[in-house]
Structure 1
Amino acid sequence: MRRRGLGIVLLILAIGFVSGCSNDQDQPASPELTKPIVKLKVIMPGDESDRMRDFVNNELNERLRKDLNTELDFTYIPWANYQQKLELALATGEKYDLFWYGTPFVSGYKTKGYIQPLDELLAKYGADLTKNIPADNFKLDQIEGKQWAIPSQAFTSAGKFTSVMVRQDLLESVGMTEIRTIKDLEDFYAKMHAKDPSYYGYLETDRGQEVLWRELSDNNYTALDERQLFAVDEATGEMISYLETDLYKKVAHVRESWVEQGIIDKNLIGNPASKIDQENAGKLLFRVGAVSRAMENLQTAQKADPRAKLREYYLAPGKLKYILAPSNEAYMIPTAAQNPERAMMFMNWILKNKENYTFIIYGVEGKDYRLENGKIKLLTNDQLMYEWMWRNKNYFTAPTNVDDEVIEDMLTNDDNARISRLFGFHFNEEPVKSELARVMAVYKMRFEPINTGLVNYDDNFQEALASLKKAGYDKVFAELKKQYSEFQASAGDK
């Protein structure tokens, strides 16, 4: 009887154990999967295409739910308003987890307390980022021994923003083959305007000086940042006040003549949205290049005109090119981010393998693209994730619609280039932030009209400069030179 009773008890326990095992198999294998899906809020520039919205809501988020228990929630801000609205969101502490901007903004955003250091997050979740992005790229975004941004692009970069990108098909249509001088640009506009005045010849007046510097000066100068107040002489290592040089005068005179010729359109100055609209409509003749902008902008250009071809040229092509920043792209995590760990995991996921990289940039194979002879054949004109933000030499695949000459230009761009003396230097604006704010307010009011060619340099420069100095320009310049000298000393004045 005891044996029979013991057997019944064991049988009951066994049944219970089997039942328990069966129930356990119905539960997620990892406790992480039982947590709610994380909504990762990301700010991006530009306009979200219909396919990008559909791709994120369906295929991309399906993959991210599986791989990271995460969904993306993109907020797109049009390019014309991006800086203003982004900084408003950062200043007011809106709960975004990740955003993109250019490397020159990292130092300022760190000073203003908008962003958080990433060292611990990178060490814990960024193994594939550090594997596929060179250490020198990361150094660009290191300030006071800490990492403040992820330099997402790892590709050629010498002479960035010192080239000019042109509509190559239109250039050839008026009997020209290449651009090598300022006169070539003027001839291109004149011939095209005579043929079809609906096209406009626009070179950014907010960032185009360095394109002209190559021809207008025998020296090699590199601008400190996008504000174009200061520059370094690459030969001597001297930090200069660009606004007080004869070179600034030469640039201003070129701009004045371009307004007279119609190359700079008065109706577009001060209206970034209209300028972008004109470019998107296929009416662009030329603009500032960025090493690979001819490839980056081709999809948009061909959406407006399927025959469009783009190519980049350097004025005074025999002059040296300098590498200031091997990556101008920077992803930052705001101080107010609610999901910083997941933001870093997402960035790392993109470079984890070529499959993820190709998927987020080009979409679904067979639906958004297909491979032809080792190249990407786009099946839609809708932009997905900006390829240039994540272009990586380890995963790069050339598109079929880009001419081989353009790809060759990109891949050989850094040949024989030199490292800029400004490489790795960050200007800490904190000691002169009040003066710099006043300086920039005066600069915008008094110098931007001169920059654009709308206001005559000879009649207005001295008064504008006096106003700038009254605002504290000399104090800002002195602090900059002090910090730069300390940087040179610490770097051994390489």
Structure 2
Amino acid sequence: MSKSQKRFSIVLSLIMTVTFVLSACGDSREASESGGAGNDTVQLIWYTIGTPQKDVNKVMETVSQYTKEKINATVTMKMVDWGDYAQKMQVNVASGEPMDIIFTSAGGFDYVQNARKGAFLELDELLPQYGQDLIKTINPAFLSGSKVDGHNYGIPANKELPQQEVWRFNKTLLDKYKLDTSGVRTLDSLEPLLKTIKENEPGVTPFAMDKNYVPYVPYDYVIQNLPMAVKLDTTDFKIVNILETPEMNEALTTMNKYYKAGYISSEAATTGSTNDLTTSGNWFLDRAQTQPLADNQWSASYGYPVVSTPASDAIITNTSVQGSIMAISANSEYPEKAMEFLNLLNTDPVLRNMVDSGIEGTHYKKVNDTHMENLPESKNYDMPSYSLGNNMLLYLNSNDPDNKWEEFKTFNAEGVDSPILSFNFDTSKVSAELTAVQNVKEQYWAALMTGTIDPATNLEQVIEKFNQAGLEKVMAEAQSQLDAWRAENK
């Protein structure tokens, strides 16, 4: 062999070696500890909302052992904190970040708008092919109510159907000062209780909230947390600027009074989560969305007693129907396997409870066949149950009655429909104005809603800023679509 032939042979060998190494590493998501050619086990990447938990990778290793046996797939969960979720997911979608399953909702990484933008895969064919068991399990109202322009783009969590707000209380402090909550309903009615805590508990935040807090008023928002809404008892179906209503004006005035009194944290408008407060117990009251026997769940999760009292009626809205959805990313490498996983998650109690509560014997223990209780290590894996699939497969807390899920069904059946339930505003004709409106919201909304700024001197300016950004044009387009929707749906 000539010297030139030898050099060519060596170069060829190097190229083949590099090519082999690159091809071996190229599809890193063809997962499995055994590896090797012909192994079709895939790694699913799941993005979900919530404060990142210390033990999430540990739990997902156990989850993956189970799912590999069942559907030949492993799971990597990536948690993004509450206040950062929407922005992070927008970046991920725009950049083509590898994702298979994405948490979405009406209020967290907007389900309808992102479905229309192409972020999620349409599931009309995948659902009957790989989700047959799921279809039989979930309340049909969730699947029908979460359709966008006639198509399914996600799997809603089977949970409470109506949305009902409650005032939650740290019962330890209620009992300590013998405070009565029987007369509590409106925002104003909280004042005597908040005053007592402020005067006697300097290390406690009387009224806990984060930057996403919005005072409750009896309206349904056309787009969650933008100032366009329809009154729940409407007869004319008129969309109004919520900031111009007497109910919101009164609520914002009260919030500012509470802020000035020191009942609300000075950092509320920039706080992404109240998780530190609930972990420490250094809070007295907040507002939350409830479900049957929610007090038991909160108490078990926090490790101290929590009680609640209604702050609103139970209303079925787009926000509640679309309050927790798992979509398949439009750029998923494994959409069929992702649907298989969602089918399993929503029908298999072993998997559903593992994802929710962690590893049996480490994070929780079974009390009997249907009940469980948390172990001390549960503090390292405290997950938001509502965001993780079919809640009605979950083990009951030790103090839950055996008929808990029957109570859910009753609660769902008794909910009252919002007048604009199933109306989904198509924003495509006003996308530029809506972007400008969102920018105004980012600048002023949290400070206004948490009472940080005084509505008496700021509200008119904020309303004018929204109108300058194009809110009135957006509202006019929404009204036109709502009128057409009413005519079509009688």
Q: TM-score range by the shorter chain?
A: 0.7 to 0.9
Please say which of residues 480-489 and 170-179 is displaced more in the overlay.
170-179
Report the alpha carbon displacement of residue 280 of structure 1 after superposing the two structures with TM.
Answer: 2.8
Counterpart of 2:307 in structure 1 is 311
**Match runs of 1:229-378 below 5 Å:** 229-235=227-233, 236=235, 237-273=237-273, 275-292=274-291, 294-302=295-303, 308-315=304-311, 320-324=313-317, 325-326=320-321, 328-367=323-362, 368-372=364-368, 374-378=370-374
Report the alpha carbon displacement of residue 454 of structure 1 after superposing the two structures with TM.
Answer: 2.4
**Match runs of 1:11-410 below 5 Å:** 34-57=38-61, 59-104=62-107, 105-152=110-157, 154-160=158-164, 162-178=165-181, 179-204=184-209, 206-211=211-216, 213=217, 220-235=218-233, 236=235, 237-273=237-273, 275-292=274-291, 294-302=295-303, 308-315=304-311, 320-324=313-317, 325-326=320-321, 328-367=323-362, 368-372=364-368, 374-379=370-375, 380-381=377-378, 382-383=380-381, 386-390=384-388, 392=390, 394-400=392-398
1:346-381 deviation line (CA, Å, top 9, x unaligned): 010112333333343334545532133842222342
Q: 2:269 aligns to what SS in structure 1?
A: coil
TM-score w.r.t. length of structure 1: 0.81
Report the alpha carbon displacement of residue 452 of structure 1 after superposing the two structures with TM.
Answer: 2.6
Q: 1:201 aligns to what SS in structure 2?
A: strand
Is the Cα contact below 8 Å between 1:435 and 1:476 reproduced in 2?
yes
Decide whether aligned partners of structure 1 residues 122 and 207 sit closer, same or farther in structure 2, where only a CA change above 3 A counts. Answer: same
CA RMSD of aligned residues (A): 2.8
Counterpart of 1:430 in structure 2 is 428
Is the Cα contact below 8 Å between 1:375 and 1:399 reproduced in 2?
yes
Is the Cα contact below 8 Å between 1:149 and 1:330 reproduced in 2?
yes
Residue 484 of structure 1 pairs with residue 482 of structure 2 = yes
Q: 1:119 aligns to what SS in structure 2?
A: coil
1:16-72 deviation line (CA, Å, top 9, x unaligned): xxxxxxxxxxxxxxxxx9533201011122344344322221x32111111111111
Which amino acid in 2 is paired with 1:107? V
Q: Which has the larger radius of gyration?
A: 1
Q: 1:75 aligns to what SS in structure 2?
A: strand
Is the Cα contact below 8 Å between 2:57 and 2:76 reproduced in 1?
no
Is the Cα contact below 8 Å between 2:210 and 2:272 reproduced in 1?
no
Is the Cα contact below 8 Å between 2:105 and 2:111 reproduced in 1?
yes
Distance 1:108 1:189 in 2: 39
Distance 1:370 1:473 in 2: 53
Distance 1:118 1:198 in 2: 50
Is the Cα contact below 8 Å between 1:229 and 1:241 reproduced in 2?
yes
Which amino acid in 1 is paired with 2:94? A
Report the alpha carbon displacement of residue 429 of structure 1 after superposing the two structures with TM.
Answer: 1.2
Distance 2:413 2:326 in 1: 27
Distance 1:409 1:263 in 2: 35
Distance 1:354 1:268 in 2: 38
In structure 1, list runs of 5 or more residues that go unmatched: 1-32, 214-219, 303-307
Identity %: 19
**Match runs of 1:442-453 below 5 Å:** 442-453=440-451
Is the Cα contact below 8 Å between 1:377 and 1:401 reproduced in 2?
no
Please say which of residues 121-130 and 165-174 is displaced more in the overlay.
165-174
Distance 1:405 1:185 in 2: 33
